[in-house]
């Protein structure tokens, strides 16, 4: 039976007599969606090669998923408050299963991107609802461990998804990961229908704010596209500047429109709470750093000599495995110590991991790479319970669905931003360093400077169009074009990760500064 607290709004269900069995069933759904997301890291390089798209363009596989997740998380968070959390959760799991099956059967890259967008929308029905259930199953002073267990579940899904996904891709093809995810989602749907109770619905009037949702969609989409435009056309290109201006301008218009909306997509009152907004921004910045390192590392490990999707899965397994254990540790720490103190320590740990990331080279042992990934994973896993506990503590209980939806939006914006930034930086830096090395090597082999522009054009076309006069000159010099480019690319790869790491240092430094604005959460005596 559901129990109602006298301190809660009338009729609001807040706790179960035995909350953990129900919570474990909810975590199964969380595990399934995160495992499916983890399949993408080893899959993206393989899918990019299969459809013949660049590293920068392949980021769309992750970006459109998170675009759907980020934009629709606050929408379905509020819908869950109004229509029931179990109902929204079941809709999400059913939609997720169908979209995974669709992704497994697509004939081209465009339809895959569309399926990934619907996967993101469906997960927006799942993760925010599970997060909001914590506030109803556990009191404030006992939420640290459940949050830690949630991080453990998410990291377990990511850990198993990384290594299993890599093995399935190498042996069964990339489509297999989508078939498996769809079947697991059906299992989660059956468990939720069987074991999870519905919570009392909020009687406040609510309708979908279509203008606000469209503004949010356009703003988030524009901002997430900025790194891709930069990687293809440069920092000062009109495409990049237009996307940046559109994203920032869209958010300004959204902020003003939401203050007048009867049923806003974003609850401005909650966003004005410092202990909600600041933790959300810190979480976002952390994920930009983590996503940037992990996804750029996926391409580096896959493309270097001897690399494979299985090795990418192995590296991710160590990263997510460390994150899994760190979540449990952090969940207990934030029940014992001040959250701000724990977060400062985690920021320092991430700085150490980022420094080690910049030392990775072509000849670095895969086991050393795994060890460095573990340090990054430890920092990633430890941040969740501390930051989330502060943010949820600032949300009124009757608005927990809306609050968890907005926090999920801010949190989940960081992952695609990290993917986009990481892959854009990796792709642009690799292209630039490869081009520079190619010119130096060609000149050293005796190629006349007059042929360098033609050489650069051939590189830009991936060797599809080598001018006859350039080909003739290379034959005279006894140089094989493909071998020359391959050697130059390896030299470019060797210098790429440090360049990506230096830029991510700036993002992490901003997160460190914001920790100074955090205040202590009031603890309710047990």
Query: In whole angstroms, what is the distance from residue 77 CA to residue 89 CA?
Result: 10
Tally of CB atoms within 10 A around 152: 25
Dihedral sign, Cα of residue 484, residue 488, residue 489, residue 491: positive
CB 283 within 8 Å of CB 418? no
The pLDDT, as a whole number, for residue 3 is 39
Tally of CB atoms within 10 A around 345: 16
Query: In whole angstroms, what is the distance from residue 77 CA to residue 444 CA?
Result: 61
* Torsion angle defined by CA atoms of residues 106, 108, 114 and 116, in that order, rounded to the nearest 10 degrees: 70
In three state form, how does the secondary structure of 485-506 look? Answer: HHHHHHHHHHCHHHHHHHHHHH
Query: In whole angstroms, what is the distance from residue 421 CA to residue 223 CA?
Result: 11
Superfamily the domain 2-208+263-431+495-517 falls into: MFS general substrate transporter like domains (1.20.1250.20)
The pLDDT, as a whole number, for residue 205 is 61
In the chain, what are the domain boundaries?
2-208+263-431+495-517, 445-493
CA distances from 133 to 122, 196, 229 (A): 18, 10, 39
Query: In whole angstroms, what is the distance from residue 38 CA to residue 153 CA?
Result: 13
65 CB-near residues (< 8 Å, 6+ apart): 37, 40, 116, 117, 119, 120, 123, 416
The pLDDT, as a whole number, for residue 363 is 87
The pLDDT, as a whole number, for residue 14 is 45
Dihedral sign, Cα of residue 403, residue 408, residue 409, residue 411: positive
The pLDDT, as a whole number, for residue 4 is 37
The pLDDT, as a whole number, for residue 140 is 67
Instruction: Name residues of the chain where pLDDT drops below 70.
Output: 1-17, 41, 55-56, 140-141, 155, 158-159, 162, 200-206, 228, 231-232, 234-235, 262-263, 331, 335, 397-402, 451, 460-465, 520-526
Please name the residue ranges forming H helices in 14-59.
19-38, 40-51, 55-58
- For the chain, the straight-line distance linking the first and the last C-alpha, in angstroms and rounded, comes to 23
The pLDDT, as a whole number, for residue 525 is 36
The pLDDT, as a whole number, for residue 521 is 52
H or E stretch including 3? strand 2-3
CB 146 within 8 Å of CB 134? yes
Query: In whole angstroms, what is the distance from residue 433 CA to residue 108 CA?
Result: 31
């Amino acid at each position: 039976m559901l129990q109602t607290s006298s301190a809660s709004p009338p009729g609001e269900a807040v706790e179960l007599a035995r909350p953990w069995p129900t919570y474990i069933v909810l975590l199964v759904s969380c595990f399934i969606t995160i495992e499916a997301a983890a399949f993408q890291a080893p899959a993206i390089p393989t899918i990019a090669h299969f459809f013949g798209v660049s590293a920068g363009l392949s980021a769309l596989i992750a970006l459109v998923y998170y675009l759907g997740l980020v934009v629709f998380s606050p929408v379905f968070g509020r819908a869950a408050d109004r229509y029931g959390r179990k109902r929204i959760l079941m809709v999400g799991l059913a939609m997720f299963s169908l979209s995974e099956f669709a992704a497994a059967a697509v004939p081209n890259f465009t339809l895959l991107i569309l399926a990934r967008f619907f996967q993101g929308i469906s997960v927006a029905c799942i993760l925010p609802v599970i997060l909001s259930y914590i506030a109803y199953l556990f009191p404030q002073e006992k939420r640290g461990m459940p949050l830690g267990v949630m991080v453990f579940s998410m990291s377990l899904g990511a850990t198993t998804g990384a290594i299993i996904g890599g093995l399935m891709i190498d042996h069964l093809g990339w489509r297999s990961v989508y078939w498996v995810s769809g079947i697991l989602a059906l299992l989660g749907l059956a468990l939720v229908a069987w074991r999870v109770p519905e919570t009392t619905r909020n009687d406040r009037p609510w309708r979908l704010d279509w203008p606000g949702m469209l503004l949010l969609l356009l703003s988030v989409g524009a901002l997430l596209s900025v790194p891709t435009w930069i990687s293809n056309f440069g920092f000062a290109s009109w495409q990049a500047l237009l996307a940046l201006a559109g994203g920032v301008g869209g958010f300004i218009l959204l902020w003003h429109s939401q203050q007048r909306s009867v049923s806003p997509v974003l609850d401005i009152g909650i966003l004005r709470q410092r202990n909600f907004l600041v933790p959300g921004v810190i979480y976002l910045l952390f994920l930009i750093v983590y996503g940037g390192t992990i996804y750029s590392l996926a391409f580096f490990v896959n493309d270097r000599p001897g690399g494979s999707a299985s090795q990418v899965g192995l590296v991710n397994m160590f990263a997510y495995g460390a994150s899994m254990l760190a979540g449990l540790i952090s969940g207990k720490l934030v029940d014992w110590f001040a959250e701000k103190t724990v977060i400062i320590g985690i920021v320092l740990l991430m700085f150490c991991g980022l420094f080690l990331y910049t030392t990775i080279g072509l000849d670095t042992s895969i086991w050393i790479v795994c060890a460095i990934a573990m340090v990054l994973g430890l920092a990633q896993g430890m941040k969740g319970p501390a930051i989330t506990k502060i943010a949820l503590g600032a949300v009124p209980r009757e608005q927990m669905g809306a609050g968890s939806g907005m926090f999920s939006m801010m949190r989940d914006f960081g992952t695609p931003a990290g993917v986009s930034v990481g892959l854009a930086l990796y792709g642009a830096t690799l292209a630039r360093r490869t081009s520079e090395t190619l010119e130096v090597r060609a000149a050293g082999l005796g190629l006349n400077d007059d042929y360098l522009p033609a050489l650069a054009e051939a590189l830009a076309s991936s060797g599809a169009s080598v001018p006859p006069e350039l080909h003739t000159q290379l034959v005279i010099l006894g140089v094989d074009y493909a071998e020359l480019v391959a050697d130059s690319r390896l030299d470019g790869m060797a210098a790429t990760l440090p360049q990506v790491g230096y830029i991510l240092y700036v993002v992490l430094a901003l997160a460190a500064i914001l920790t100074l604005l955090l205040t202590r959460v009031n603890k309710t005596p047990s």
